[in-house]
Amino acid sequence: MEGGDDALTRVYMPTESAPEPTRRAGAAVTDAARQLDEYFRGRRRDFDVALAETPATDFQREVWRVLRSLPFGTVATYAQVASLAGHPRAARAVGNANHANPWPVFVPCHRVVASNGLGGYGGGEDLKRFLLDLEGVRAYT
């Protein structure tokens, strides 16, 4: 993870190479790591992490807002997220916004599934299944 004392700027997936730390972790990163640990231990369902401003389109920001509103243990299809974001024909663009999400898990793009199955995930399908299983989701449509 990357960030400073005030906000989290980036979360790296296991499939990505994170840069070597150049300084002590800021307060926001330390807090995010604690919350993530609680989530993986089954002790947390919601996150209260400050997210840094990042370059993004208005559409991406709206999709990320919708993702943050998806409750723990639920899924929505790409088409449903597109509708909730005010762009009902933009299901494919939701996938692109998910791919650009700099804060996976905290902004739960793993909760978005295809209408006919699991759908893709930047961390890979096994990680997506793991996260959904952790949240008690057994059906992906």
109 among known catalytic residues: yes
7's CB contacts (< 8 A; 6+ apart) are: 28, 50, 51, 52, 53
DSSP reduced 3-state for 76: strand
> For the segment 41-74, what is each residue's pLDDT rounded down to a tens digit?
999 999 999 999 999 999 999 999 999 999 999 9
> What global pTM score does this model have?
0.93
pLDDT of residue 141: 58
- Grade residue 20 by pLDDT with cuts at 50, 70 and 90: confident
Q: Please check the confidence at residue 96 and state whether its pLDDT lies above 90.
A: yes
Burial 59-90 (b: 16+ CB within 10 A, else e): bbebbbebbeebeeeebbbbbbbbbbbeeeeb
**Which of 94, 109, 112, 132 is labelled catalytic?**
109
* Predicted pLDDT at 114: 95
